[in-house]
Homo-oligomer: A and B are copies of this chain.
């Protein structure tokens, strides 16, 4: 299958591209490398140094069993995007190419406006190009579990069947996104739903949980293929950040009470979920939603698990509760469905203590790169 991976230079996009390529799919990545500019803007860097996009692509081309290529394209530039898609003629487009950090979107007005316009315009451009050039192509869009917020009822996969005043309908699940970034994803979801209905496009929205882990089988095949590892307060996600904090003898920084419960997924399952979605496409006109996570943890659960794994490595890993920089409930009901990908064949890698120990060990091996001044929360929601 010809699969285009937008955002293919990123933390999820790169290992997904390599995994699908290694499985024999004809893969192209498309990226403007802007994620690397945000590192410079914020004075941060991946804990594991990564080569340029050109270098890692050149290296993978030595390993790939089938042709693999890269497009340097900004998705806000319609003409560039038209040219790439016209040339590659993808059968599936996996769309990761968005600003994906909630704190980054909350830095200030400029970052909020950038996040929303960048994400919305890129996705709108893609939808119009699919309609014009590849109308049968399957869009696989990365959403986030965060779109749902924390309602006091069960979270379903995209839709909710509601009985009300004696009548029934199945409607889009009501969303309560908790940041300018999460809002941009909700806007995308509405736009894509409309495009499927009006233009008969086919799309799968993958509401992904918080991703943890670093490497996959393919990113380990050569040092130049390594995945990035973010631990800073803006782009680092909770479990990865805790592991780096443990490695650096820094306290594990839990925001507020730590009762915030979320869905989590190993990067090794992310790449598999994408393949499952691609191999089982949505029907023409269908806007399908899968919740892409494998387990639920509270932030406190995670901190406890990291502390326990760290102790086995003779690290104390003190847990510290910080004032919460976010506006969110710290104790709440949370129960979210996530059966559709499993029904299609996902065999989850559930979080083991050995996984956490290996993440801490990766961090220890790169200890010289840890910038402790980039760990404490620098962006407030208020």
Q: Is the CB of B174 within 8 A of A382?
A: no
Are the CB atoms of B171 and A172 closer together than 8 Å? no
Given A116-B191, A167-B333, A186-B190, 16 further pairs, Cβ under 8 A: A109-B124, A112-B124, A113-B125, A116-B187, A117-B117, A151-B169, A152-B169, A153-B162, A153-B167, A153-B171, A160-B164, A162-B162, A162-B174, A180-B191, A198-B327, A199-B382
Instruction: Tell me the bound Cα distance from A180 to B108 in angstroms.
Output: 27
Q: Mark A137-172, 1 if CB is under 8 A from B, else 0.
A: 000000000000001111000001011110111011
Task: Report how many residues on chain A are interfacial, defined by Cβ distance under 8 Å.
Answer: 48
Which residues of A line the B interface, CB within 8 A?
Answer: 78, 108-109, 112-113, 116-117, 120-121, 124-125, 128, 151-154, 160, 162-165, 167-169, 171-180, 183, 186-187, 190-191, 193-194, 197-199, 327, 333, 381-382
> With A116-B120, A117-B117, A121-B117 known to touch, is A198 a contact of B109 (CB < 8 Å)?
no
Whether A121 pairs with B125 at a CB distance below 8 angstroms is no
- Chain B's closest residue to A152 (CB) is B169
With A and B bound together, what is the CA distance between A317 and B116 in angstroms? 47
Residues of B within 8 A of A108 (CB): 128
In the assembled complex, the CB of A327 is this many whole angstroms from the nearest CB of chain B, namely: 4
**Bound CA–CA A108/B125 (angstroms):** 11
Smallest CB gap from A132: residue in B: B109
Q: Is A168 touching B152 in the complex (CB atoms < 8 A)?
A: yes
Q: Which residue of B lies closest to A169 (CB)?
A: B152
Cβ of A174 and Cβ of B177 under 8 Å apart?
Answer: no
Report chain B residues within 8 Å CB of A125: 109, 113
Q: Which residues of B contact A191 (CB under 8 A)?
A: 116, 180, 183
